[in-house]
A and B are shown apart, each in its own frame.
Chain A
Amino acid sequence: MSPAAEVEARRIAALLGVPAAELSYLRSRSASALTRLRLAIACAGMERHQRSFERLARASTLLPTTLAARIAQEHLGPALIAALAPFLPPARAALLGQRLEPAFLAEVAVHLVPNRAGPLLAALPLTLLSTTLQQLLARGEYAAMGAVVEQLPTETVTRLAAEIADPAELLLIAAYVGDKRCLRPVVDSFDDNAILQLLRCATEGAAMSALIELTAVLEAPQQQRLRNLLATLPEPSRRAWVEAASPATASA
């Protein structure tokens, strides 16, 4: 049982309103499978109650943002706000987001259904995303961060990635990105030193599989750049990479 699976099993239990012990059998499942189930439950709720959410979104536009933010935090809670947010006009959601406490916003981010939140995420200002990123990093919410990467504009992803100093955290987030091709521009934005740090970190055991999967979908010149940098690492690191990457990237 991984800590991430434990957290997801608890979240599902909380979502379903039962004690965590009742769903203890879920803890032996993979964290990513549990995250998919939790988001599928949230998505099903959004579909079933779409009319209510649409009306609520329209009603919220009648309220001053400060009052709407207060209601969001004190009465609706993060799970309902995450379900409601995709129904709000994105510009309105962005204004509202700036009135919410960062800790609350981070909770909302955890409950967001990524494939319903694209326009919303694209409308959020970088400062707000950055604040939320720091909150999520502090909580170790790598799945929540990785899940939304595909929905964010490329430039935003690149700028947010530059704010993450720890290469291990970058790799842990990358592990949860569905289509890793969206990370190609991020790789290009990293200088050689940053890439070397990622390679070192991976070859020392931190989320090696994430970097291997990413490498497999990089463009040929990007793969060549990684090969060149890998060649500058000590022999044990190079060997660790080749052993882990084979056969997926032995040709990379």
Chain B
Amino acid sequence: MPSQSLTTALATLALESAARTRLQQLIEARLERQDAELRQAVEQALELLPGLLRGAVRRVLGL
């Protein structure tokens, strides 16, 4: 788990071991997925931009 606040929040719930492990797996998968979702949303958004602006935004985004 990546952050102390997340570890603490999970501990506060006092879940059974299996439920806690499963929830941790789901959270980890969510965090892994978020970057891909962000990239996909950005790619869709870039389609809306005219060419020059799209190029400038791509450069700032490091794409």
Given the contacts A23-B23, A59-B61, A37 and B34 also touching, CB distance less than 8 Å? no
Given the contacts A40-B6, A71-B45, A76-B41, A59 and B60 also touching, CB distance less than 8 Å? yes
**Interface residues of B, Cβ cutoff 8 Å to A:** 1-3, 5-6, 8-10, 12-13, 15, 19, 23, 26-27, 29-31, 33-35, 37-39, 41-42, 44-45, 48-49, 53, 56-57, 60-62
B61, A55: Cβ atoms under 8 Å?
A: yes
**Nearest neighbor of B2 in chain A, beta-carbon distance:** A44
From residue A43, how far is it (CB to closest CB) to chain B in Å? 6
A56, B30: Cβ atoms under 8 Å?
A: no
A41, B6: Cβ atoms under 8 Å?
A: yes
Which parts of A1-53 form the interface with B (CB within 8 Å)?
Answer: 15-18, 23, 25-26, 29, 33-34, 36-37, 39-41, 43-45, 47-49, 52
Instruction: Determine the chain A residues whose CB is within 8 A of the CB of B48 once the complex forms.
Output: 67, 70-71, 75
B2, A37: Cβ atoms under 8 Å?
A: no
From residue A234, how far is it (CB to closest CB) to chain B in Å? 40
**Nearest neighbor of A58 in chain B, beta-carbon distance:** B60
From residue A223, how far is it (CB to closest CB) to chain B in Å? 31
Asked if A165 CB lies within 8 Å of chain B CBs, one says no
Q: How far is the CA of A55 from the CA of B31 in the complex (A)?
A: 18
**Nearest neighbor of B59 in chain A, beta-carbon distance:** A59
Instruction: Determine the chain A residues whose CB is within 8 A of the CB of B37 once the complex forms.
Output: 80
**Nearest neighbor of B43 in chain A, beta-carbon distance:** A75
Which parts of A78-122 form the interface with B (CB within 8 Å)?
Answer: 80
A25, B15: Cβ atoms under 8 Å?
A: yes
**Nearest neighbor of B15 in chain A, beta-carbon distance:** A25
From residue A13, how far is it (CB to closest CB) to chain B in Å? 9
**Nearest neighbor of B57 in chain A, beta-carbon distance:** A59
